[in-house]
Structures are given as C-alpha cells and as structure tokens.
C-alpha cells in the first residue's frame, strides 16, 4: 500500500433504505451472488487504505449494517439519525475521521463494481494537481436520474446539478457525477458548514461542495472513467438483477 495513502481516509455512505428496492431491508444489505453490496465496496476501499481508516455511515438498520461491515474488518462507524442528504451524512462522519487524515474519499455503499485502482487513480490525480475537490465522472447515453456536471467555457467543473433541480438544457448533459469524491479534509470541514438545503429535495447535497469550492477560488478536478457499470449505483430491483448477472458472467469469464 502506498505510504502517502496512509494519510487518506474513506467514508462510505450506507445509511439509506433504498425505497426503489421494494424491500424493508437496508439498501447496502441487498446481496449480489450471496454477498451484501457493502462488502464489495469495503473490499475496494481496503485495497487503498487500512480498515481502521474507513468510516461507514449507518442509519437504517444500523446494527445489521455494522455487523455485516465488521465481518470485513475493524472499520469505524458514524451514525446518521435522519437521512437529510449526502452532505449531512458527510457531516456525521467528520468526527470519526482519523486525526492524521489529509484527504477524504467519499463514496456510496451501493457501487459493488468499483475497483481499488479507480479509487487510487482518483486520489493520485487529486494530489498531483493539488485539488481541493476531485470527483469521478462518467458519460451515460441515458443520464436520467443522475446529477449533471456543468462545465465552464474552459471545460472546468462549475457545478453539479441534480436531476430534480436541472433545467431542460442541463438535463441534456450526459456527463454525470459518479458520486465518488476525494476532498481535502481541511476544506471539507469548512465547506460542509456552508451548504444549505436550498433544493427541490430540501436536503444537504454533498454535490454543492463544488459550488462552494468555485465560489472560494479553490481547485476542482475531475477524473473521467470509461466503465459506467463500475460506478453507477444499484438503485432498483432491476439494477440488482443486472448486477447479479454481471457478477456471474465475470466469474464465469475468470474460470473459463
């Protein structure tokens, strides 16, 4: 493991129920090939940082999610008592971050195909360009439901607009936010306090950290990845079925 990455912590957002899953089970506990989604994400994160530098934000069925996460290793936990948005979940995690953390990767617990290499590439790019915020992006043929990445005339990331708040022109953008970020811890601590729930969902969006960064002349970077399946979350029963089939196909490919 890269020595420099010893100063990186990972926050995994795993507090939601996932209403489109049509189940009363916490979203990250839904299984793919007999293994809960959260375990795949933890395995990817621990390929980059030590387990004790991973903070899992729990909420719905917190005890069950904790028990499953601890089967992976000695990770840390933060509790989000009310699901008030991704920014609020990140706020809940701040107090649990290791004191020596310089950069924080924030990712979702429903991306079972993400790889350690993708996370490492994000961190390396973040540090190479000395960014305050670096995010993963991906181009989708059908971006419906995802936050659009709005760029300025120079191609720099200006802001992220969620589907519910996007204009017609913004909805035509097919470069979307993959929901995984690397953020300087010092900036994260300051910026989260400046985000308000001024949106259609009345939630604190972590995506607004980009707007805060640009307002304060901070550096924002973006790492584009080609494989959408790696970063697009499992949000429905049909998504889960496709993930199961993809995982089985990948396994067959390795054994054939």
Q: Active-site residue numbers?
A: 20
SS3 181: strand
What DSSP character marks residue 159?
A: E
103-108 and 76-79: which strand pairing? Answer: unpaired
Confirm if 107 and 114 have CB atoms less than 8 A apart.
Answer: yes
Angle ∠(52,65,31) on CA atoms, nearest 5:
110
Spell out the alpha helix ranges (H) of the chain. 37-45, 62-70, 86-94, 116-128, 168-171, 185-192, 209-215, 228-231, 237-255
Confirm if 95 and 189 have CB atoms less than 8 A apart.
Answer: no
- How many C-beta atoms surround the C-beta of residue 239 within 10 A? 17
58: left (phi over 0), alpha (psi -120 to 50) or beta: beta
How far is CA 64 from each of CA 10, 25, 117, 156, 234, rounded to the nearest angstrom? 20, 10, 29, 41, 19
**CA atoms of 19 and 47, how far apart (whole Å):** 30
């Amino acid at each position: 493991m890269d020595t420099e990455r010893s100063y990186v912590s990972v926050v995994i957002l795993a507090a939601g129920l996932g209403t489109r899953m049509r189940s009363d089970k916490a979203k990250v506990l839904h299984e793919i090939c007999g293994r809960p989604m959260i375990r795949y994400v933890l395995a990817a994160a621990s390929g980059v940082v030590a387990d004790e530098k991973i903070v899992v934000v729990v909420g719905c069925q917190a005890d069950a999610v904790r028990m499953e996460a601890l089967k992976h290793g000695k990770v840390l936990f933060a509790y989000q008592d009310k699901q008030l948005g991704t920014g609020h979940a990140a706020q809940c995690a701040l107090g649990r971050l290791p004191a020596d953390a310089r950069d924080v990767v924030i990712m979702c617990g429903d991306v079972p195909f993400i790889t350690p290499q993708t996370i490492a590439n994000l961190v390396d790019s973040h540090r190479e360009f000395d960014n305050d915020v670096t995010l993963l992006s991906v181009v989708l043929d059908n971006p419906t439901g995802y936050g659009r990445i709005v760029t300025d005339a120079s191609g720099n990331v200006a802001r992220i607009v969620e589907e519910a708040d996007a204009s017609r022109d913004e909805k035509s953008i097919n470069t979307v936010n993959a929901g995984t970020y690397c953020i300087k811890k010092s900036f994260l601590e300051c910026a989260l306090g400046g985000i308000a729930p001024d949106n259609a969902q009345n939630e604190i969006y972590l995506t607004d950290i980009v707007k805060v960064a640009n307002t304060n002349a901070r550096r924002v970077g973006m790492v584009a990845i080609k494989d959408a399946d790696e970063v697009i979350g499992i949000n429905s029963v049909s998504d889960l079925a496709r993930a199961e089939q993809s995982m089985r196909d990948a396994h067959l490919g390795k054994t054939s």
